Amino acid sequence: MKKYFHLFAGILILIAFAGGLSKTIRKRHAAAFQVDYHPISIGQKPRFETDFASSKLHTQAHAASLVELKDGRLRAFWFSGSHEGAKDVQIRSAVFDPRKNAWSAEQVVATREDTERSVLRYVSKLGNPVCGRAADGTLWLYYVTVSLGGWSGSSITAKTSRDEGQTWSAARRIVTSPFLNVSTLVKGTPFFYNDGTMGLPVYQELNNKFGEILRFDKAGNLIDKVRLSAGKDDGLQPVILVKNDRDAQVLMRNSGAAYSQQIISVSTQDGGRHWTKPGALPVLNPDSAISAIVLPDQRILAVVNDRKRQGISNGRDALALMISADGGNSWKLVYRLEDQLAARKKPLDEKAYLKIAETQAQKSDDRVMGKKVNAYAESAKNAMCKNGGCGFEFSYPYLIQTKSGDFHLVYTWNRGFIKHIWFNQAWIDQRLKK
Amino acid sequence: MITFTNLTGFASIVILVATLAMLMFRLLRIPQPYLTLLTFAVAIIVCVPIPFGGLPPAAYLRGIMGDLSITSQLLLILTLLQYLTKWQPFQHQRKTLFWAIIVLPALVLYPLVLGIGYVDPYRLGFGNAWFLASLFIITLAAYWKRFYLIVLCIALAVFAWSVGWNEANNLWNYLLDPFVAIYAIGALLCGGASALVKLRRGHLQ
């Protein structure tokens, strides 16, 4: 008996390690980025238009992202529910048609209940969604799920769509850690390596806060991960800026006291094999998400909350579009997208808040009129007035450039709605001349 | 549709619950025929969806714990076999060296994956030839010494990883999980304390 077991164990070793070796050999992948620049249109008229991507009233909406569809339309995703972390939070989506300059009705893409049925485990809440298009054209939606505790207990779940987001597959959990698979969240825009594999910027919040890049093969399997910051660097929500096939820069939200509360940056010159140690860029970052893209002339266009934290305002009451021509070492303000700093001077009561919010809503979307104006302001007030005081929040920007060369930005508007801004290169040039 | 990897992950939690239930029934001195029956009954009950949440109880536990490693599952199955069938495979091999082989990598892996530095050993599990070669050498050494429990833990984990048995695509998730690491630390501490007591008694005599 013992002799036979010895033989069995020997055969098992051979089969197991032959399989393991085969999987290891198949893992080869390139260390070069795919550069995805879009043309700059010449002779365009400056365009700057704003509207709301979300339309559901009396709910909270946050953490929007965008993906361009094959026909030039845009699909936005965000999470929405009675409040952040509530059990009724859903991942919602709407489509923007540039030809009609209008958003579709909202569509539910994922709920807590359908996610937990698919992944066969309890899910207590949903969070940030981001979407990327794989090399075969499939849309991959990654979103945060939590089973236990707060956001530090997060893991990533994915859904796929082969019809541009009209229907979605069952959810699939991505295992990113050996420690109970907790504490991985998404926020940044996916990017590609030149072998068709996809990079997904993620971050961890358990114990230490740090940024990472996950790498997925063409079938959506996680095949590698790279750490961008560590220890007490407190760099979160990395945004990858691919400059050429070898060079890339990462901007990260500063969630700690290190680096003078400025944006954290790391870079690579070998296609992401090695990254520099974090350093600070001269832009204030009050622990808030940033979004950025690289223009074909290598300038960086970024959307940031660039004011200090204070009181009920955590620094998210102002949002700026900025540009840098020297890798982030110096920045120029292109346009102040939102500014409610004046409201910091004296505490706002609900009545005063409603008045300002109504004006803001009308300015943001000219289709918001009549009774809707008050409903939009009420939705914002419900989210932003607490303990007798009110504040403003314009946060979690997500900026993309489409194939047409135009720029689309979505961000959280007072936690009640997702605001969309559509602008072009001619408008940026016009702003920079002023 | 429930995927294969969801079924295997779910099964790992069912095995855990069944083993814990069986150990509890043993503490309550349930006689042998009923012990087997009750253990299977618990295993079935945790698979049945509860009326309100719509999920089976094991799915709630799975949400909190994640999927167990192949090492954990193997040890749980051996424990079930030991008490339900009186067959005690590799009982004598569950000793200091075995637990130390689990504890040592765990003590390095978990602090580092939680971000205390820039080194991330978890990357090795995505298909690193040197990591696989190291495991192969450890497995061959254990095979040569007829330490079959180590052979089974590593070889089954590598095999399961190579065929994509669980939803993880990283070999570490097949080799280790925090629960087996904590159990191994406990076993080492108990073993150490027991050895100290014996030593002290011998010294006094």
Question: Which residue's entry shows tokens 């559509």?
Answer: A422
The answer to the question of residue B130 being in a domain is yes
Q: Do A224 and B177 touch (CB under 8 A)?
A: no
In this prediction, residue A331 carries a pLDDT of 96
- Report which DSSP code applies to A348: B
For A10, which of B143, B156, B169 is closest by C-beta distance?
Answer: B143
Cβ neighbors of A205 (< 8 A, separation 6 or more) are: A151, A152, A154, A183, A185, A236
Phi, psi of A147 (to 5 degrees): -105, -30
Pairing outcome for strands A407-413 and A48-52: unpaired
Based on the fold, state whether residues B102 and B186 are members of the same structural domain. Answer: yes
User: Rounded to a whole number, what is the distance in Å from the CA of A152 to chain B's nearest CA?
Assistant: 11
Residues B47 and B114 in one domain: no
B115 and A21 within 8 Å at the Cβ level: the answer is no
- Report yes or no for ipTM above 0.90: yes
pLDDT at A307: 85
pLDDT of residue B205: 59
pLDDT score at A389: 83
Q: How far apart are alpha carbons A361 and A394 in whole angstroms?
A: 13
d(CA B141, CA A363): 73
Per-residue model confidence (pLDDT) at position A310: 66
d(CA A122, CA A376): 34
Q: What residues of A are in contact with residue B162 (Cβ under 8 Å)?
A: 16, 19-20, 22-23
In this complex, which of B136, B143, B166 lies closest to A9 when CB atoms are compared? B143
Torsion angle defined by CA atoms of residues A18, A21, A23 and A25, in that order, rounded to the nearest 10 degrees: -140
Of B86 and A223, the one with more pLDDT: A223
Exposed/middle/buried for residue B88 (C-beta within 10 Å: 0-12, 13-18, 19+): exposed
**Cβ-based contacts of B166 with chain A (< 8 Å):** 175
B97 and B169 together in one domain: yes
The candidate with the shortest Cα–Cα distance to B32, out of B84, B90, B78, B98, is: B84
Q: Looking at the structure, tell me whether residues B97 and B149 fall in a common domain.
A: yes
For residue B200, the enclosing domain spans: 90-205
| Same domain, yes or no: B98 and B53 | no
Beta carbons of A180 and B178 less than 8 Å apart: yes
Question: Which pLDDT tens digit goes with each residue over B42-51?
Answer: 999 999 998 8
Instruction: Judge whether B178 and B96 are in contact, CB under 8 Å.
Output: no
The CA-based angle A77-A83-A84, given to 5 degrees, is 60
Q: In the Cβ-directed half-sphere of B32, how many Cα atoms lie within 13 Å?
A: 6
Same domain, B146 and B203: yes
Residues 114 through 153 of chain A touching chain B, CB cutoff 8 Å: 116-124, 147-148
Contact between chains at A223 and B63 (C-beta distance less than 8 A): no
* pLDDT at residue A31, as a whole number: 77
| Residue of chain B whose Cα is closest to the Cα of A181 | B66
Q: How confident is the model at residue B203 (pLDDT cuts 50, 70, 90)?
A: low
pLDDT in tens, B105-127: 999 999 999 988 899 999 999 99
Q: What is the pLDDT of residue B204?
A: 60
Q: Which of B118, B155, B167 sits opposite A12 (nearest CB)?
A: B155
Domain membership of residue B168 (yes or no) is yes
As a whole number of angstroms, the distance between CA A126 and CA A91 comes to 7
Give how far A211 is from chain B: nearest CA, Å.
10
3-state secondary structure of A198: strand
Domain-ending residue, one of B67, B102, B117: B67
In a domain, B78, yes or no: no
As a whole number, the mean pLDDT across chain B is 93
Q: Where are the alpha helices (DSSP H) in A311-370?
A: 350-364
Residue B97 inside a domain? The answer is yes
CA distance B164 to A26: 14
Look at residues A31, A30, A34 and name the one whose alpha carbon lies nearest to residue A273: A31
Same domain for B53 and B131, yes or no, is no
Is B75 part of a structural domain of the chain?
no
- Residues (pLDDT < 50) of chain A are none
Q: Residue B84 falls within a domain, yes or no? A: no
Cβ B63–A180 below 8 Å, yes or no? no
Q: Do B162 and A5 touch (CB under 8 A)?
A: no
Nearest to B125 by CA among B71, B168, B73, B78: B168
Do residues B121 and B168 both lie within one domain? Answer: yes
- Contact A175/B139, CB-based, under 8 Å? no
Q: Report d(CA A369, CA A358) in Å as an integer.
A: 10
CA–CA separation, A52 and A82 (whole Å): 19
CB atoms B65 and A209 under 8 Å: no
User: Which pLDDT score, from 0 to 100, does residue A311 have?
Assistant: 62
Closest residue on chain B to A14 (Cα)? B155
Give chain B's domain count.
2
Single pTM value for the model: 0.95
Q: Which uninterrupted H or E stretch holds A208? A: none
